Structure 1
Amino acid sequence: MSIKLSSIVKRLEEVYPPNLAEDWDRVGLIAGRPSSPVDKVLVAVDPVEKVLAEAVAKGAQLVVTHHPLYLRGTSFVAATDPKGSLVHGLIENGIALFNAHTNADSATGGVADCLAQAVGLEDTRPLIPLDEHTGSGRIGRLSAPMPLREFASKVAQSLPACPAGILVGGDLDAPVSAIAVSGGSGDSFLADARRAGADVYICADLRHHPASEHLEGGKPYLICATHWASEWPWVPKCANMLQESFPEEIEVMISRICTDPWAARITPENKDC
């Protein structure tokens, strides 16, 4: 059994409406013929070579990723360039590529909701709402307060393992309960997390100066995960949605390959920070 690519694209856009994407974003079908038949789908975070190799090995005709291949325009897709090589690999192997980026961040059941659920939040709502259920980030609460150190350990265990781990900023012994989250880069929402009354804000890619200046002003304390790990909880959710939407027509597979750029975290022995 199989189904046309256009039917899968339609379903993805129903769940992750393109109109929820930021103006600067690029979402939707990147490569592929809408009339092509699909019977195997691979869902991943990043459209990179190792994910393409996994799709080829597993016989997928469609890869669904969170991140776009080209966020900015390009004039060349020669195979001498890594992204151009990926385009050639997709076409040569008959594999379509679709992405849902900031529209999947904001949508109900999207990246933000999946991250909030992964770290155990209850009574969640959008941090920067578009309406009652959609918008950027989420804020909720823990079932019971716990020290920041204990909660950070829980976050590390709840997210997929990757070499870089997580970073924590704040009073490690302070009790925390109100938690804000945003998958991926999140320093633009630091002020929003503070205004919302969060004790902790979880995101990725925090830079030194914004994090330092923020913590000088107090809560929310910060937990900085890696970009891939903070967004990966969406992958199985998206895969399950597609499998339930087309139970007889397609097989949906989950990519568990860590596509963070970091290979290891090396800390000096017997040295105090």
Structure 2
Amino acid sequence: MTVRIRDVVAALEAAYPPELAESWDAIGLVCGDPQAPVQRVLFCVDPVESTVDEAAEWGAQLLVSHHPLLLRGVHGVPADDPKGRLVHRLIRAGIGLYCAHTNADSARTGVSDALAEAIGLTVTGPLNPHAAGADTGLGRIGELAEAEPFERFVDRVAAGLPTTAWGVRGAGDPQRPIRRVAVCGGAGDSYLAVAAEAGVDAYVTADLRHHPAGEHVARGDVPGTEVPALVDVAHWASEWPWCQQAADIVAAALPDTVEVLVSTRRTDPWTTHATGANRDPGRTLA
């Protein structure tokens, strides 16, 4: 049986229906012939130089990424432009590129399900469902087998995700018991209020900004008001578990016909981290 790019795309779109994508998104086959044979498929978060290198070195005919390469409108892909250069490299190497973004975020099972599984949660439903009673939507709510202190939960998150310079940060009482948790792979500060309304003990997401996070925590200072503790992780790390999920979907749909590989190239943009621990102890801040 000759597997073609179109067959891999069909398997992915059965799991991550294109109609679940947000209207502004740019998903689907970016380059490559749907009729082209494929024996190897590489899965990654970001379609960047290092993952294209990996695809070429491994001999893949298709690269599947979570993030789109051409999210905003373009009028050309010249080879002296960073993204245009990637398109040229992919075409010359005979490698197709397929992107599953917000459709993979909202699908059941999708990006946030993979994140929940990585940190040991049993998913009970979406954080922000598409409609009442729907099992699709952004984010997930899940539960731990038993409650544990917040500081231990933060360690759990760090242990379940790949290490990055960004690290894992927590905001909340270290001894607060955590059992019911909301997660949202990728940038999720727009769902802080939704997580609070859901009554979860903690909310795990990426790219939390200073002001939204600070205002969220301050609401918990009001007597009689409780808000979820926050766990902030690197954007890339929060979405990387999805790569294995997507690879497993293709492997199950096309057994014994294609090889799948999850990229281990760390494409998080942050490369160094400093805590200030060696700062002159005599220096203080007002």
Q: Report the Cα distance in structure 2 between the residues aligned to 1:2 and 1:243, rounded to whole angstroms.
A: 15
Q: Deviations over 1:111-154 (max 9, x none)?
A: 01111111111242101112532111001221111111000001
Gaps of 5+ in 1: none
Q: Report the Cα distance in structure 1 between the residues aligned to 2:69 and 2:123, rounded to whole angstroms.
A: 34
Look up the equivalent residue of 1:247 and give its one-letter code. P
Answer whether contact 1:115 1:231 (CA < 8 A) is retained: yes
User: What are the within-5 Å matches in structure 2 for residues 104-119 of structure 1?
Assistant: 104-119=104-119
2:41 corresponding residue in structure 1? 41
Look up the equivalent residue of 1:209 and give its one-letter code. H
Gaps of 5+ in 2: 221-226
The answer as to 2:91 corresponding to 1:91 is yes
Q: Deviations over 1:49-74 (max 9, x none)?
A: 00000000000000000010011101
The answer as to 2:247 corresponding to 1:224 is no
User: What are the within-5 Å matches in structure 2 for residues 60-209 of structure 1?
Assistant: 60-130=60-130, 131-209=133-211
Aligned to 1:266, which of 262, 265, 274?
A: 274
Q: Report the Cα distance in structure 2 between the residues aligned to 1:121 and 1:252, rounded to whole angstroms.
A: 26
Q: Report the Cα distance in structure 1 between the residues aligned to 2:2 and 2:183, rounded to whole angstroms.
A: 37
Q: How many corresponding residue pairs? A: 273
Q: Report the Cα distance in structure 1 between the residues aligned to 2:278 and 2:263, rounded to whole angstroms.
A: 38
The answer as to 2:23 corresponding to 1:23 is yes
1:215 corresponding residue in structure 2? 217
Q: CA deviation at 1:229?
A: 0.4
Answer whether contact 1:2 1:250 (CA < 8 A) is retained: no
State the secondary structure of the residue aligned to 2:184: strand
Q: Report the Cα distance in structure 1 between the residues aligned to 2:144 and 2:52, rounded to whole angstroms.
A: 38
State the secondary structure of the residue aligned to 2:273: coil
Change (3 A) 1:123 1:239: closer
Moved more, 163-172 or 193-202: 163-172
Q: CA deviation at 1:13?
A: 0.7
Q: Report the Cα distance in structure 2 between the residues aligned to 1:167 and 1:152, rounded to whole angstroms.
A: 7
Look up the equivalent residue of 1:60 and give its one-letter code. A
Look up the equivalent residue of 1:211 and give its one-letter code. A
Q: Deviations over 1:199-255 (max 9, x none)?
A: 111000111111111110122111000001000111111111111211222111110
State the secondary structure of the residue aligned to 1:3: coil
State the secondary structure of the residue aligned to 2:56: helix
Look up the equivalent residue of 1:185 and give its one-letter code. A
Q: Report the Cα distance in structure 2 between the residues aligned to 1:236 and 1:140, rounded to whole angstroms.
A: 20
Change (3 A) 1:98 1:163: same
% identical aligned pairs: 50
Answer whether contact 1:140 1:180 (CA < 8 A) is retained: yes
Q: Deviations over 1:82-116 (max 9, x none)?
A: 10100000001000000110110111121011111
Q: Report the Cα distance in structure 2 between the residues aligned to 1:183 and 1:4, rounded to whole angstroms.
A: 30
Change (3 A) 1:79 1:5: same
Tell me the C-alpha RMSD between the 2 structures.
1.4
Q: CA deviation at 1:270?
A: 4.5
Q: Report the Cα distance in structure 2 between the residues aligned to 1:44 and 1:270, rounded to whole angstroms.
A: 36
Q: TM-score, normalised by structure 1?
A: 0.97
State the secondary structure of the residue aligned to 2:47: coil
Q: Report the Cα distance in structure 2 between the residues aligned to 1:58 and 1:142, rounded to whole angstroms.
A: 38
State the secondary structure of the residue aligned to 1:37: coil
